[in-house]
Amino acid sequence: MLIELNAFQLQIGIMTAERFCVAKKAQGKDGWKHDRKQSMFSAVIHGVMAELAVASILGVNIDPAIYPNGDGGNDLKYKNATVQVKNNMNRGRELYFYVPEKEQFKSSVGVLTRPVSMVEIEILGWVSKERFLLSSEPINFGYRDNYGVSQSQLEQPEFLKAYLDTL
């Protein structure tokens, strides 16, 4: 499912990412922990844009708050459910929805996205917490062990809202 963000969403995304980076720098966290090939702002803006894309199909807003110790893995709220969004920028290999430890997956569902362009985000699919806990396997991308499910194991994005409505 391809989502094209509008000018207003892009402005919200840029401002939210900048506020996050300024807050992290104020905490003395000037670097980015995962990808040395991109700046912290670049990584954060892509994540925020992914959250905006998922929020748009759910009809909700992103949470603009900056949490000093993280958001606890809950990026979006939809009715009685929470959503964790993972944006995967890798090319040339199978994509995964993953977290460092199974216990860190706190949301009702996880959604995997990938950027197509600066204004287009592809929502690849989603996994319920229950299915993730049963099906995830250890994976390592060269920097630490994680637990994940592959894109081929995800549910179709078209069914996300209907599933969340049942929770």
**CB within 8 Å of 87: residues ≥ 6 apart:** 46, 47, 49, 50, 113, 114, 115, 121
Residue of 149, 32, 14 whose CA lies nearest to 94: 149
Instruction: Inform me whether the pLDDT recorded for 53 exceeds 80.
Output: yes
Token pair for 166:
């049942």
Residue 156 DSSP code: P
Q: Where are the alpha helices (DSSP H) in the chain?
A: 7-26, 40-58, 129-135, 160-165
Q: Give, in order, the Cα–Cα distances in Å from 67 to each of 24, 72, 101, 106, 136.
A: 10, 9, 20, 16, 27
Distance CA 31, CA 86 (A): 20
Can you tell me whether residue 15 is helix, strand or coil? Answer: helix
pTM for the structure as a whole:
0.91
Q: What are 87-130's pLDDT values in tens digits?
A: 988 776 789 999 999 988 999 999 999 999 989 999 999 999 99
Q: Give, in order, the Cα–Cα distances in Å from 120 to each of 49, 54, 67, 70, 143.
A: 9, 12, 26, 26, 28
Q: What are 3-33's pLDDT values in tens digits?
A: 999 999 999 999 999 998 888 888 877 665 5
Q: Domain spans of the chain?
A: 2-165
What pLDDT does residue 63 have?
86
